[in-house]
Amino acid sequence: MTDPISDHAARKGSAELLILATLDTGELHGYDLCREISARSGGVLTFRVASLYPILYRLEDRDWIEGRWKLVSGRRRRCYRLTAEGRKVLARQRSRWSSFIAALSRTAGLKNV
């Protein structure tokens, strides 16, 4: 396994993309969102729940995601899902990140995985 990338600066630019892309597959609450990002990245990308919520609130303020209270396993939890606007933003971000990663790979001589 690769060392986890938990440094704030390393995650900062990609956090919105990671959250939106993870919510593209369905509704999740914060803890499960953190677990899913970690699982999808093989443990390389990690978020602490406490650092995730300010980002979720910001995305909710922008109307990119919608949060609602649900009863999950007998506990009240705030679950998040993408809005129609969030899906549009995700499509644009995926396109931009794809171009960025391709350019970075070419410039730094990285091999495609």
Break the chain into its structural domains and give their ranges. 8-108
For residues 100-107, give the mean pLDDT.
Answer: 89
What's the pLDDT score for residue 111? 82
Separation in Å, CA 85 to CA 50, 57, 63:
25, 16, 7
Q: Sorting pLDDT into bands at 50, 70 and 90, what band is 1?
A: very low
Query: Of 43-47, 67-71, 88-92, where does mean pLDDT reach its minimum?
Result: 43-47
* CATH 1.10.10.10 is the classification of domain 8-108: yes
Neighbours of 24 (CB within 10 A): 14
For residues 95-102, give the mean pLDDT.
Answer: 90
Q: Sorting pLDDT into bands at 50, 70 and 90, what band is 100?
A: confident
For the cut 70, the answer to whether the pLDDT of residue 53 exceeds it is: yes
For residues 63-76, give the mean pLDDT.
Answer: 94
User: What is the maximum alpha-carbon separation in the chain?
Assistant: 51
Q: Sorting pLDDT into bands at 50, 70 and 90, what band is 9?
A: very low
For the cut 60, the answer to whether the pLDDT of residue 107 exceeds it is: yes
For residues 30-45, give the mean pLDDT.
Answer: 94
Phi, psi dihedral angles at 75 (to 5 degrees): -120, 145
How far is Cα 36 from Cα 76, in angstroms, rounded to an integer?
20
Tell me the pTM.
Answer: 0.85
